[in-house]
Amino acid sequence: MPEVLAYATDDKSCQFHKTTITRREPGATEVFFEVKYAGICHSDIHTAREEWGPVTFPLVPGHELAGIVTQVGSEVTKFAVGDKVGVGCFVDSCGECEFCQQGQEQFCTSTEKPVVMTYASTGRDGLPTAGGYSQGITVEQDYVCRIPDEIPFEAAAPLLCAGITTYSPLKRWGAGPGKKVAVVGMGGLGHMGVQIAAAMGAEVSVISQTMSKEADGKKFGAMHYYATSEEGTLDKLRGTFDMVLSTISADYDVDALLGTLKVGGALVNVGAPEKPVDVAVFSLIVGNKIFAGSNIGGIAETQEMLDFCAEHGIAPQVEIIGGEDITEAYDKVVASKVRYRYVIDTSTF
Ligand code: NAP
Ligand code: ZN
């Protein structure tokens, strides 16, 4: 059984320490890959701080993994030793239900073989799953994506969550030429949303809390940049956008954002704050507005997103950190101080 170094927290105070975990030998259709880089998603923080409910500790988070295959099972056909691969938020599902068949494995409805999240979940072996803050992982080949050579490897990991979580709703809700799209919150997800929406051909605006990231927003492809710290910003934007993508990780004023939509426009929420948000029905009724959600994306669409990013020269802007820096990085993410995703280099373990 492969033993690997990892970083875990023993409770919701999120003081990370080095540990050793055991991975299973790859089965016939599984691959083992050395995790080289792991992104820190704000969802890791919500989970480990138990903002979404209780979890089992010790916890090894991480659902943005980039690595290199070092072992393949006897029936693996999709990958070979040496391949650059990535894994996102889930590592298994039934493969047979309506949603698995549609390539939306994240919505697997099976009760016998339910979706297995990369961490804080129960694996098929009945053991708690452990995520990407580790030097290696065993995964069923159907839940692994290929990382194109055009994408800088040390920056690829965040695409496996931040990339797909923004690509999927932008595509579904028609971001493209002639469409005005606002991305709200320019953190890990937001800075990918800006790049992807711009590459799809939309006219992109950023709505941030401050103007401090304006130059970066424009570099990522935004044509306009607004800050809610400036009085009256959302009032001035009334009736402007076809689509607003909210990546805000905290409570926010949904009605004010709905007001920035054109008639028939959609506010798509991907941020997952701890507490429920309020919405006034009149904000929806007047103007036939849509308030929608979106949850990551399936495996085929994740591969499509990776290929799209390679083709368009898009990549996350990352700050590489070591294992010892994870504890502090959590506070910096919550304080919006990351530019724009922390990626853990597992060779520092
Ligand atoms: P992040 O890097 O911390 O970015 C969140 C951004 O939200 C911040 O950069 C900040 O942008 C803005 N923000 C933070 N606090 C705010 C507040 N009080 N009011 C207004 N804006 C605020 O986090 P992330 O990794 O991108 O994740 C964003 C959210 O999406 C998290 O809640 C995460 O759990 C969720 N998520 C959901 C899915 C899904 O499938 N739906 C997948 C992944 C993540 P500015 O500094 O520009 O204001
Ligand atoms: Zn995530």
Parallel/antiparallel/unpaired status of strands 116-117 and 90-92: antiparallel
Give the domain extent around 64. 3-161+297-348
Identify the pLDDT of residue 124: 85
Q: Using CA atoms, how far apart are residues 172 and 197, in angstroms rounded to an integer?
A: 12
Instruction: Calculate how far, in angstroms, residue 262's C-alpha sits from the geometric centre of ligand 1.
Output: 24
Same domain flag for 32 and 74: yes
Find, among 113, 109, 90, 89, the residue nearest to 99 by Cα: 109
What share of the chain has pLDDT > 90, as a percent? 98
pLDDT of residue 117: 98
Question: In one letter, which amino acid is 291?
Answer: F
Whether a cis peptide bond, with omega within 30° of 0, leads into 340 is: yes
Q: Are residues 224 and 209 located together in one domain of the fold?
A: yes
Distance CA 345, CA 296 (A): 24
Residues 54 and 14 in one domain: yes
Specify the pLDDT at position 1: 76
222 lines ligand 1 (CB under 6 A): no
User: CATH number of the domain that 279 lies in?
Assistant: 3.40.50.720
Gap between the Cα atoms of 332 and 347, Å rounded: 22
Could you say which of 256, 276, 293 is where a domain stops? 293
Residue written as token pair 């297995």: 116
Question: For the chain, which residues score pLDDT lower than 70?
Answer: none
Last residue of a domain, one of 293, 309, 339: 293
Pair 91, 212 in one domain: no
- Shortest-distance ligand to the CA of residue 161: 2
CATH of the domain at 112: 3.90.180.10
Question: What is the structure's pLDDT at 125?
Answer: 85
* Residue 101 and residue 10 share a domain: yes
Structure tokens at 129: 């799953």
Asked if 190 and 94 sit in the same domain, the reply is no
Cα of 142 vs centre of ligand 2, distance in Å, is 20
Strand partners, 65: 38, 87
* Rounded CA separation 282/107 (Å): 30
> Which pTM was predicted?
0.98
Residue 162 Cα to ligand 2 midpoint, Å, equals 6
Q: Are residues 203 and 146 in the same domain?
A: no
Q: Could you tell me if 49 and 80 lie in one domain?
A: yes
Cβ(89) to ligand 1 under 6 A?
A: no
Do residues 188 and 130 both lie within one domain?
A: no
Residues 151 and 169 occupy one common structural domain: no
C-alpha distances out from residue 177 to 90, 200, 261, 292, 315, Å: 32, 7, 17, 22, 21
My answer on whether 127 and 21 are in the same domain is yes
Spatial separation of the C-alpha atoms in residues 56 and 51, rounded to whole Å? 13
Q: Which residue in the block uniquely carries the two structure tokens 């949904």?
A: 254
**CA–CA separation, 35 and 32 (whole Å):** 9
Q: Is 184 in the pocket of ligand 1 (CB under 6 A)?
A: no
54 and 176, same domain (yes or no): no
The count of structural domains within the chain is: 2
